[in-house]
Amino acid sequence: MSESWKKRTQAVHGGIRRSQYNEVSEAIFLTQGFVYDNAEQAEARFLECGPDDFIYARYGNPTVSMFEQRIAALEGGEDAFATASGMAAVNGALTSILKAGDHIVSAKALFGSCLYIVETILTRFGVDVTYVDGTDLEQWKAAIRTDTKAVFFESMSNPTLEVIDIASVAELAHAAGALVIVDNVFSTPVFSRAIEQGADVVIYSATKHIDGQGRALGGVIIGTKDFIRGTVEPYMKHTGGALSPFNAWIMLKGIETMTLRVNAQAETAQILAEALEGHAALERTLYPGLKTHPQNALVQSQLGGKGGTVLALDINGGKKAAFAFLNALTIPVISNNLGDTKSIATHPATTTHQRLSDEQKDELSITPGLIRLSIGLEDSGDLLADIKQALDVSQR
Ligand SMILES: *Cc1c(COP(=O)(O)O)cnc(C)c1O
């Protein structure tokens, strides 16, 4: 393995660990435990466990380790810990470092479950949280204190697709000695350069673009070797959020085609956003790749101009029109995953973000007409025709 390899090479060769049979495709080590040659070896391994040593699948497993090393290499991080889901990763990254009395600053535009962790769980354990509009650097500057332990944000927010300036927030956070923890799902491992831009910890829900084919849940925390092995691993291995070896294998095979899939999906998303912008049935067309997106300049510098695989359409006529649109679609399915090969349409106000109060929805502009559209691998012309006919139905 070479650290100088580009993402596409890491995606297929990174982290490979072959058994004595020298198999081409990654082996699934579907085992929870490992046999020791003798009692002395068991004792030694519990005392010190090297990277090629395994004890119990809650601590680590060769297939899971291959996934961890592959995604770490792809992201340009030193190490990674794989988790049972994206939420186990978000929870693990935050809870493993925080204690009562600590202060964190969080962007307020968060995925519903991320908001639950920050707003309900962390505060229940006495963590003090200051919320900011993540796109406003002045608010970050005012909120970060000398005793701030960490800052947390989604680099591209779900579902309204605000883009947050990782490098600038990291500069402010690092000046105060705070850790920068980024939920990078919407930016995708393909377009991300988050670590180079200043993130200390990068989190992915592998359920999204890494599997990308709607099969399995998974997550990962990427960071320095010290942080992953010294802070995250002890927390995760004792609290039980381990990724199953079988799901790790699905993620390994998913990563191999991720670059091709995500590039094609983002290309289609860009085509659709440009074609739909200004449509009479739409109040707003939100896509970071559009020149009219408020953070488009940042998308150029932070993500190489790629707007990602998700767009959001705010349909005139509120919930009634949004539901009519969803029910008229024939290609995108109504569901709530994203990053999948199949296009998926979601109504955040009544599903993923249903739990939010009306004031919170207002503040995040999660309006009754808002549809989140995750773009898959279908033909862009077919998708555009289908979306347009459904928009027509929505206005009847
Ligand atoms: C889906 C998602 C998660 C949670 O991932 P799961 O694998 O579903 O647990 C976290 N953050 C963001 C931004 C997501 O979109």
SS3 at position 365 = coil
Eight-class DSSP state of 243: P
**Global pTM value:** 0.97
Distance CA 155, CA 306 (A): 13
The finding on whether 153 has its CB within 6 A of some atom of ligand 1 is: no
At residue 307, the pLDDT reads 97
Domains of the chain, first to last: 7-254 (3.40.640.10), 259-394 (3.90.1150.10)
Handedness of CA 264, 268, 270, 271 (dihedral sign): positive
The finding on whether 308 has its CB within 6 A of some atom of ligand 1 is: no
Beta strands in the chain (DSSP E): 79-83, 103-107, 128-132, 148-154, 179-183, 201-205, 219-223, 282-286, 310-315, 333-334, 344-346, 370-374
At residue 1, the pLDDT reads 60
The residues with which 220 forms a beta bridge, in sequence order, are 82, 204
The alpha carbon of 205 and the centre of ligand 1 are apart by a number of angstroms equal to: 5
> Peptide bond preceding 159: is omega within 30 degrees of 0, i.e. cis?
yes
Closest residue (by CA) to atom 1 of ligand 1? 205
At residue 304, the pLDDT reads 95
At residue 55, the pLDDT reads 95
Q: How many other β-carbons are positioned within 10 Å of the β-carbon of residue 124?
A: 9
Closest residue (by CA) to atom 7 of ligand 1? 86
Edge-first strand order for the sheet with 282-286 is 282-286, 310-315, 370-374, 344-346, 333-334
For residue 218, the ligand 1 atom closest to its alpha carbon is 7
pLDDT less than 50: residues of the chain: none
At residue 123, the pLDDT reads 97
The alpha carbon of 160 and the centre of ligand 1 are apart by a number of angstroms equal to: 15
The alpha carbon of 187 and the centre of ligand 1 are apart by a number of angstroms equal to: 12
Distance CA 178, CA 172 (A): 9
